[in-house]
Structure 1
Amino acid sequence: MNIKIRPKNSVKLADQLHDQLLDWIISGILKEGDKIPSENELCKSFQVSRPIVREAILKLQEEDLVATKKGIGTFVLDSPLKDLSKYVSAQDVSDILESHEVRIALEAESAALAALRRSPEQLVVIKNAQLAMRKDFEESNLSIQADYEFHIGIAQATNNDIFVQLLENLHIGLRKTMAIGQELSRERVKSKISPERNNQVLEEHQRIIDAIEIQDQEAARFAMRYHISKIKQRIMDVQTE
């Protein structure tokens, strides 16, 4: 296979190789059961070392996209990513996978601290964002701003500015993920494939609000982890529920 490096000055080589392989999986060049090029082939074609190839393959393994059989090779697993090219690029998918790892770590703890420290006024801000999101959904609109305000509102309720700064630093990728997820949800609601999807999102938000309101840290942490995990699942799984 002829691999062409797409210049990404700020992205390390292992991630570039990962994104190229991911692009092949999404586009269908590599299908379920296909063997990906060997380490030697990738090293030669991409002009990189074995450690870089292994790092890229490991990342795909951790994302449950490939499996390696010792002494045989690495093979593509059945993946819902194969139809995602209709909606987003391989780079978008890569960004989503990486951002969710960070979001789970950051926002789960943010929710737990918000449950402990939130003021009545901060709770109102979070609830109002949820109400705005519900209104947008009822009018069949995307609700990116309200969704963003919900998550930022929780970070603010930690009363630790670093949580807010970290989440704001992710705001471009965060908004992109929200836009992709909500657009996919809207299409599936319209097509009646998943008519309850928006309600599911609102219910997940409500569980987070309820835990923060009663100041149950563990429940808030769990509810946020569950919500972000479901966001990823909804984005990645465009074929089945």
Structure 2
Amino acid sequence: MSESLRPLARPRLYEQVVERLREYVGAEGLKAGDRLPPERDLADRLGVSRTSVRQAIVALEVQGLVEVRHGGGTYLLRDRLQAEPLETMIERRRRLPDVLDARDALETKLAALAAVRRTDQDLAEIDTALAAMAAAVERGELGVDEDQRFHAAVTAAAHSTLLADFMAEISLSIAESRTESLRQPGRPARSLDQHRGIAEAIRARDPERAAAAMHTHIDTVGSVKLLDWEAEEGD
């Protein structure tokens, strides 16, 4: 029988809660820093269990849209709750470990090569990327484009055409992992510090230290709430 007649998926209850919360934030004109109603109040007003509300909040937290302060409530991190479809999150969670493995293998080698092969011009571009990311962090931004510029500068400094081609082939997946990492609370500033450590090792022409610094950075990139999250059915 045709795949077009496969069974319809029923939206999980907490996906519906997420949609109601999105509508609520828009209708009330809430902005980043504002607090959502307590879980108990949300459950009562929506006619669902606190479990479903909690699952919805966790899904929003994983996406970097809210911050849960234990004992202090749930606060918006963005002006809007533009949540991703659940299946998109599940698929990204499935891909992410492989992407991180590839990044670790490629980028630690690129950092080591950059420490050996970099030119003064390469170093100037790395420093420019660092300055741009520092400015983005100072403005309170994630610095996604600036982060990408730094890693591109390190790749260029390695002067390895084949490794650069491999990086280009997985660039979309790398961009996805970058955004996932940088939207973790406090991550942009931490990433900036790690980038500075990588740059200093490259500047010092120390390939072992450059590789170690990049490996530590990629480990941090992989420390995200998404990998601890499990999609549940709700009630």
- For the 8 Å contact 2:180–2:224, the answer to whether it is kept is no
| Larger CA Rg, structure 1 vs 2 | 2
Superposed CA deviations along residues 116-174 of structure 1, whole A, max 9, x for unmatched, are 00000001111111111111111112211111111111111111111211111111111
RMSD (Å) for aligned C-alpha atoms:
2.7
Q: Which amino acid aligns with 2:142?
A: L
Query: What is the aligned partner in structure 1 of residue 93 from structure 2?
Result: 93
Query: What is the aligned partner in structure 2 of residue 208 from structure 1?
Result: 198
Q: Which runs of 5+ in 1 are unaligned?
A: 1-5, 8-26, 28-82, 190-196
Shift of 1:234: 3.6
For 1:215, what is the secondary structure of its paired residue?
Answer: coil
Query: What is the aligned partner in structure 1 of residue 153 from structure 2?
Result: 153
Query: 5 Å matches for 1:66-215?
Result: 83=58, 86-87=62-63, 89-183=89-183, 185=184, 188-189=185-186, 197-215=187-205
TM-score by length of 2: 0.59
Shift of 1:238: 7.2
Distance 1:205 1:140 in 2: 18
Distance 1:155 1:235 in 2: 28
Query: What is the aligned partner in structure 1 of residue 214 from structure 2?
Result: 224
- For the 8 Å contact 1:152–1:167, the answer to whether it is kept is no
Distance 1:103 1:94 in 2: 16
Shift of 1:84: 5.5
For 1:100, what is the secondary structure of its paired residue?
Answer: helix
Q: Which amino acid aligns with 1:220?
A: A
User: What percent of counterpart residues are identical?
Assistant: 23
Displaced runs of 4 or more, over 4 A = 83-86, 235-239
Q: Which amino acid aligns with 2:128?
A: N
- For the 8 Å contact 2:93–2:227, the answer to whether it is kept is no
Distance 1:123 1:146 in 2: 16
Q: Which amino acid aligns with 1:132?
A: A
Which protein, 1 or 2, shows the higher relative CO under an 8 Å CA cutoff with sep ≥ 6? Answer: 2
- For the 8 Å contact 1:156–1:163, the answer to whether it is kept is no
Distance 1:235 1:113 in 2: 32
Shift of 1:237: 6.7
Distance 1:153 1:127 in 2: 9
Q: Which amino acid aligns with 1:160?
A: S
Distance 2:92 2:227 in 1: 15
For 2:173, what is the secondary structure of its paired residue?
Answer: helix
TM-score by length of 1: 0.57
Q: 1:181 to 1:235 in 2, by over 3 A?
A: farther
Q: 1:235 to 1:161 in 2, by over 3 A?
A: farther
Q: Which amino acid aligns with 1:201?
A: S
Query: 5 Å matches for 1:20-35?
Result: none
Query: What is the aligned partner in structure 1 of residue 25 from structure 2?
Result: none
